[in-house]
Amino acid sequence: MPKDIIVERKIRSDIKRLFYSLLVILFLPALVFSEDKGSAQVDAIVKTGYSWNGDLLPDYPEGKPEITILRIKIPSGAVLPMHMHPVINAGYMLKGRLKVITEDGKGIELRAGDGIVEVVNRWHYGVNEGDQDAEIVVFYAGQAGKPITISKTISEADDYVDVTTLDDSFILDIRYATADNFTGRVIYPTAKCYLRQEVAHRLVNVQRYLKGQGLRLVLFDCYRPLSVQKRFWEIMPDERYVADPKKGSRHNRGAAVDVSLADMKGNYLEMPSKFDDFSEKAHRDYMGASKTAIKNRQVLEDAMVKFGFEPFPTEWWHFDASGWQRYPISDVPIK
């Protein structure tokens, strides 16, 4: 048998032995030595040839093996970006909760003490919907010089989601699907709120948080096609209120929302101005409104900021998702 084939088989065998040794080491929740024999108690957490979604695991990579072990902390409310792993990897939850979701919508929820064999070569992301930080130890059976994680470059149409499919308790008041807006015309053919998946999950977390206070989000506008932005600019060419379409709006990226508050019965809370009020009353530092309106404005801002949204200075209703810069501008029609 040729020498190079013998060496290759030995390397692949070494990877397998190292991988299963790490499974034994990392996936033991406890090693309890008995007083009489000093033997170890071993509890098997994971032993499988499949990832959590049922995919058959691929063969181990050729080349020089490289094992990577990461301890990852995910803050409460955080949404991890869409990514994939080209190598076999597995994890053990140390603390909190974590939901893992594939691009096609399949998901699994992990809690402290759970093990997971992750999907390989499949786009997915994570969401911490719990009220505390989550921690997970993940190890990767990789190859020296090769990446263990690849982040997705998001294209225009494949990452949008209707937020009401994630949570149907939002109050939809999409103003540009009616004539009740600053243009006085119906702009959108339907009243729907589309956002990038990560942004949508952040908004769901805000909604759940507010419901604990007896409140709900009112959605005025979400994703906005660039062609609509051009129409708005023709009417109101003032960057304090409408983004220049040459630069693009955060709305055009599916990474901004216009929102307000209502109680659980659907009654709108008082705010310092009406939506699309292009005056100083809409500014966040305007203090000429009633104490109730100023308080409600602050409650809304605090909740949105808590889950990764940035307030726009001249519009109390407008919030940008942090990290909006990495999303491309879109002109996909709303249907």
Handedness of CA 140, 109, 72, 156 (dihedral sign): positive
User: Identity (one letter) of the amino acid at 190?
Assistant: T
| Upper half-sphere CA count for residue 18 (Cβ side, 13 Å) | 20
Residue type, 207: Q
Picking from 208, 183, 209, 205, the residue whose alpha carbon sits closest to that of residue 195 is: 205
Closest C-alpha among 145, 143, 110, 149 to residue 19 = 143
The residue behind tokens 């009489």 is 36
Torsion angles phi and psi, residue 142, rounded to 5 = -110, -165
In whole angstroms, give the CA distance from residue 255 to residue 321.
5
Given CA atoms 129, 131, 137, 143 in this order, what sign does their dihedral have?
Answer: positive
**Separation of alpha carbons 202 and 249, rounded Å:** 19
- DSSP assignment of 184-249 equals -S---SS---EEEHHHHHHHHHHHHHHHTTTEEEEEEE----HHHHHHHHHH---TTTS--TTT--
Q: Are 82 and 159 in contact (CB under 8 A)?
A: yes
Looking at residue 128, its amino acid is: N
Q: Rounded CA gap, 216 and 169, in Å?
A: 8
The phi, psi pair for 3, rounded to 5°, reads: -65, -40
| β-sheet bridge partners, residue 282 | none
Could you confirm whether 156 is annotated as catalytic?
no
Parallel, antiparallel or unpaired: strands 194-196 and 256-263: unpaired
* Active-site annotation, residues: 315
